[in-house]
Amino acid sequence: MDELVCIVCPRGCTMHIEEKDGAYVVSGNSCKRGEQFAVSEMTAPMRTICSTVRTDFPEAPVLPVRVSADIPKDRIFDVMREINHTVVKERVRRGDAVIQNVLGLGVDVIATSDMLYTGEGR
């Protein structure tokens, strides 16, 4: 039996997960999302990553970004490498893709701020 802490919400439930006849039995969770998280941790752990990309705009040298959906945990540093090779040259909006389909993972790296678009500096 494995013990893990749920990171889906701030509650942080301590959960136990056990494999029984090819299926996972989860206990200690307070909601369905916790159960899904526990099973995913055992099979294919996924994470969101947030970072910044460089820009060409002196008033905002970096722009905050995140992946549009969870990526496999073991690809985090691969995606970070892509993010760190990217420079934003246009005044993109919040939600716009900065990198489309990053590393073929089926998710985009998107801007999480309108700061370039609205032109307000830091």
Residues forming contacts to other proteins in the complex (CB under 8 A) are 4-7, 9-12, 14, 47-52, 54, 61-62, 64-66, 73, 76-77, 80, 84, 94, 112-115, 120-122
Residue 12: burial class (beta carbons within 10 Å; 0-12, 13-18, 19+)? exposed
Q: Identify which of residues 24 and 51 has a Cβ nearer to other proteins in the complex.
A: 51
CB of 104 to other proteins, least distance (A): 21
CB of 33 to other proteins, least distance (A): 10
CB of 83 to other proteins, least distance (A): 9
DSSP state of 64: E
Q: Identify which of residues 12 and 22 has a Cβ nearer to other proteins in the complex.
A: 12
Interatomic CA distance for residues 62 and 55, integer angstroms: 5
Q: Identify which of residues 20 and 87 has a Cβ nearer to other proteins in the complex.
A: 87
Q: Do residues 71 and 105 lie in contact, with contact meaning Cβ atoms separated by under 8 Å?
A: yes
Interatomic CA distance for residues 56 and 51, integer angstroms: 17
One-letter identity of residue 75? R
CB of 22 to other proteins, least distance (A): 27
